[in-house]
Amino acid sequence: MKKRRPQLLLAAVVFLTSIGLTYNVSASKTDEQISTVNSKIEQTQASVDQAQKTISKLQSQQTKDQAEIHSLSKNINARKSHLAQQARSAQTNDTGSLIAFLTDAKSLSDAIDRVATVATMVNANNQTLSEQKSDKQKVVADKASVDAAAAKEKSLTNSLNQQLADLAVQKVELKVQKSKEDADRKKAEDALAAAKKAAQTVKTTKNQVTAVQAVATASKAAASVTDNNSNKTTVQTAYKTSNSSNDDSSSDNTNTTSSSSVNTSSVVAAAISLTKMNIPYVYGGSSLSGMDCSGLTMYVYSMFGVSLPHNTVAQEGYVNYESVSQAQPGDLLFWGSKGASYHVAIYIGGGQFVHAPTEGENVKISSISGFPPSFAGRIK
């Protein structure tokens, strides 16, 4: 990632220079430039969506390989223990030992047969142990390959994250121009400063959680600038990524409202109502005809004026982290590590949550004990 960042920053500088950030451009030209940046954001988000799907598949394979390695290790240890027991048995003359088995032969022919039987048994055990070790080596090698591929995809996602942050800065810079034309210069310049600071944080931080929160700040800064042709403050999601299973897709522009005014009991009631509508899981969906996990949380909170991005990791940037035990009804539950979550749900209390599980299933209520989340978050 470090090697690609200079190139990304250079590209951003070239782009900003080419558009000529002056306050003399016409409103129509500025609108065209904003539209161009929006298109680039959509294209980059599409790339992140694809990377996220790839990461999700790789994470599934990593889990499968780890489970197989554990099973093979267990079988190998059991086989070694069995062979050790046979070796000890061969050195004793107790009833039931190999020595007893051989010395109890009724005749020379019987003794020869018994020796052959013991040899065959020992060889079979050794052969099985050898095959198990070989299988384990193959699975370990496969896991190493999958791990490398997953790391590569995460690096790509991080690079795309930087591009999105830079695009957010570009968009705010263009809106600064437009706001000056519309006598809203101060608000836009403050937003530009916030977006630049957030983008700088994304560029320099090594902490994925900090990057997620910074990109959310940049996105909100872009959203805080009022468009000339609308009375609404629009939200342009400037971040898409990856952990998990991830089911990311583009978010629509909606009104933003402080979550402090949201009645959490109403959020819970709205979430529960969705479980009675037979709504199927649809990747990229966020409507009653079908929705994925982040689409569900986005849909429910949009009913109360809170605009969330259509992505699990991006939604982390809109919450204050808390442990699962601290979660209150209406809070979001996340699966995966912070900054790389792959699933999200709405906690409804009593150890239960509403979520859109996976393909082939409808929106439903599940229990924390049956599918334990990794952490929780309260909407800021």
Three-state SS for the chain is CCCCHHHHHHHHHHHHHHHCCCCCCCHHHHHHHHHHHHHHHHHHHHHHHHHHHHHHHHHHHHHHHHHHHHHHHHHHHHHHHHHHHHHHHHCCCCCCCHHHHHHCCCCHHHHHHHHHHHHHHHHHHHHHHHHHHHHHHHHHHHHHHHHHHHHHHHHHHHHHHHHHHHHHHHHHHHHHHHHHHCCCHHHHHHHHHHHHHHHHHHHHCCCHHHHHHHHHHHHHHHHCCCCCCCCCCCCCCCCCCCCCCCCCCCCCCCCCCCHHHCCHHHHHHHHHHHCCCCCEECCCCEECCEECHHHHHHHHHHCCCCCCCCCHHHHHCCEEEECHHHCCCCCEEEEEECCEEEEEEEEEECCEEEECCCCCCECEEEECCCCCCCEEEEEC
82 part of the active site: no
Question: Of 70, 82, 293, 310, which one is the catalytic site residue?
Answer: 293
φ/ψ of residue 307, rounded to 5: -95, 115
Question: Of 70, 82, 310, 355, which one is the catalytic site residue?
Answer: 355
Q: What angle separates helix 185-204 from helix 108-181, to the nearest 10 degrees?
A: 160
Question: Of 70, 82, 310, 343, which one is the catalytic site residue?
Answer: 343
293 part of the active site: yes
Hey, is 378 helix, strand or coil? Answer: strand
Which helix (H) or strand (E) is 298 found in, with range? helix 293-302
Determine the Cα–Cα distance for residues 248 and 47; give it in Å rounded to an integer. 11
Residues found in the chain: 380
Q: What amino acid positions are annotated as catalytic residues?
A: 293, 343, 355
